[in-house]
Chain A
Amino acid sequence: MKSLGVRAGILSVVLFFAFCLVWQIAVTPSASSGPALDPEYAKLMGITTAGAQSAMPGPVEVAGKLWDALKDPFYDNGPNDKGLGLQLAYSIGRVAIGYGLAVLVAVPLGFLIGMSALAYRALDPFIQVLKPISPLAWMPLALYTIKDSNLSAIFVIFICSVWPMLLNTAFGVGAVRKEWLNVARTLEVGPWRRAFTVILPAAAPTILTGMRISIGIAWLVIVAAEMLVGGTGIGYFVWNEWNNLSIANVIVGILMIGVVGMVLDLILARLQRRVTFPE
């Protein structure tokens, strides 16, 4: 009997190949299926092969495209043809700036809100209204005021990642155990030292949870935002490949969005584990 991890790994691989097999079968043209097209009409429709090849690529074709993309990820042949790595780098860069700014604003602000019950209550209605707004709804406002599509995308990332961090920081700071604060008080610890040596470490797990939620949302939103603003980025890449009718490349793009999202989440999970303390 092998360990659970090994067995789960084997099952994952089996499932993966089963999925690929079903996929391959589904897209393989069968000779009998489909009405025979008039070759002239087929030509007009862009269907060149006589065997009615589906536009949906099979796993082998996608794997080939993926290999091509990974072989040379950073080439740049002008606006319509950039390497996948380059596009991802644009997206990650935008997320990093927008998300970084959000951290710089949300954590200190959340800290202040969490310290004051008055501020918490006073600001809560605003936060509750602003939080559920789809970040893309800000896009026209951002484009109008900022007048720069790239900065607008960054703004949208900022605005979508700021709320979970703000709320979690405020909540974490407000929920610091009173006895820990009392320890600091009886030791006559000053407000700054108290903030950094008691409140911050005590609230860190909650803050990191907010940061982890935020990075997930930011990565979801950047794809949509880039489809809107265009130019560069993985979202633009996916949309552009759709316009090029290269479904294989769209699938490659989707796959990479998933992989990068997972890596971002893993990084935050790692950080979260580092600041979490057992009680």
Chain B
Amino acid sequence: MAEQNPKFISIEGISRRYPKREGGVTTIFEDLWLQVARGEFVCIIGHSGCGKTSVLNILSGLEAPTDGAVIVDGQAIEGPSLDRAVIFQGHALLPWKSVMGNVAYAVSSRWRRAGKAEVEERARRFIDLVGLKGSEMKKPAELSGGMRQRVGIARALSIEPKILLMDEPFSALDALTRGTLQDEVRRICTRTGQTVVMITHDVDEAIYLADKIVLMTNGPEAQIAEVVENPLPKDRARDSVHRAADYYPLRNHLVDFLVSRSRTFRDDKPAGYDPRHPPVVRIGTGAPAADIAPAPALAAGAP
């Protein structure tokens, strides 16, 4: 399914610069190129300040890139669109509306002519989907953090977006709640073949959820260091994923990147690094674990 349109989302040389107060410009990131296929789950991982959130905001259309463009399904992004739903870091529910009101607000924005009953019926379906049946009339303040984020997920999914964008959606939650919500998101997204771009700084979250993990170097002037393909089976489950042979090599590779290479990458680029085609790395595939630790590109090349 991924092969039919490898450029469903095509990030083409975007950069983000801010004028500095004392003159000059700060470059948050520059010359980012990335392709995401339809139905793929992509996690972008990197330290704070590398511009991950800016990348996501550009994908959602809330921010415009200083240079470059993003093309989704053959169309350049020009501002926010109902085709791309966002799950915000801080859930961003409207606190004066009930759970039903929040989801129905999105539904009625998507289908403006739909009648009240139709809107509520649809909203109820997505509230049920995230397991909030019975809490429809509660206000966000009456819900726990995890339940609020569930409403955020229901609201995003209810408009049936082409792309789901998530900005560290679980970072404010405790570990147990985070785990359950990751399970829910994975269940829903694999079932519907949802294309997802998610920002995270949690390595385990990325391994569990993503098909591809995009590694960003530290800002300013952040770059995409490489794209790591997740070798774990598609039908991985939380209780067994850490026993897969490729799990620790992959995890070590990611942690190594975050701990040291994200900092040193800029001055120590692998030969032939081309920001237009960041190396695609596939960890594991039978290689002995010891060899892989700071693996350079095993399968570098154009996608």
Contacts and interface: CB of A to CB of B under 8 A. Distances in A.
B82 A188 contact: yes
A209 to B, nearest CB: 16
Given A183-B92, A201-B96, A278 B109 contact: no
| Majority secondary structure, B binding face | loop
A279 interface: yes
A116 to B, nearest CB: 20
Given A186-B80, A187-B82, A188-B81, A179 B106 contact: no
Interface string B69-103: 00000000001111011101010101110000000
A180 interface: yes
B145 to A, nearest CB: 13
B67 to A, nearest CB: 22
Interface residues of B, number: 24
Nearest to A185: B80
A187 B92 CA distance: 13
B141 interface: yes
A198 B141 contact: no
A198 B94 contact: yes
A197 interface: yes
Counting chain A CB atoms within 10 Å of each CB, the highest count among B84, B96, B106, B109 belongs to B96
B161 to A, nearest CB: 9
B246 to A, nearest CB: 36
Nearest to A198: B94
Contact of B62 (A182, A197, A198, A277): A182
Given A187-B106, A187-B110, A179 B88 contact: yes
B62 A185 contact: yes
Contact of A277 (B105, B109, B141, B159): B141
A189 interface: yes
B56 to A, nearest CB: 11
Given A185-B80, A187-B159, A198-B94, 19 more contacts: A179-B88, A179-B92, A182-B62, A182-B80, A183-B94, A185-B79, A186-B61, A186-B80, A186-B81, A187-B105, A187-B109, A188-B82, A189-B109, A201-B94, A201-B96, A202-B96, A277-B141, A278-B95, A279-B141
Interface of A: 179-180, 182-183, 185-189, 197-198, 201-202, 275, 277-279
Interface of B: 60-62, 79-82, 84-86, 88, 90, 92, 94-96, 105-106, 109-110, 139-141, 159
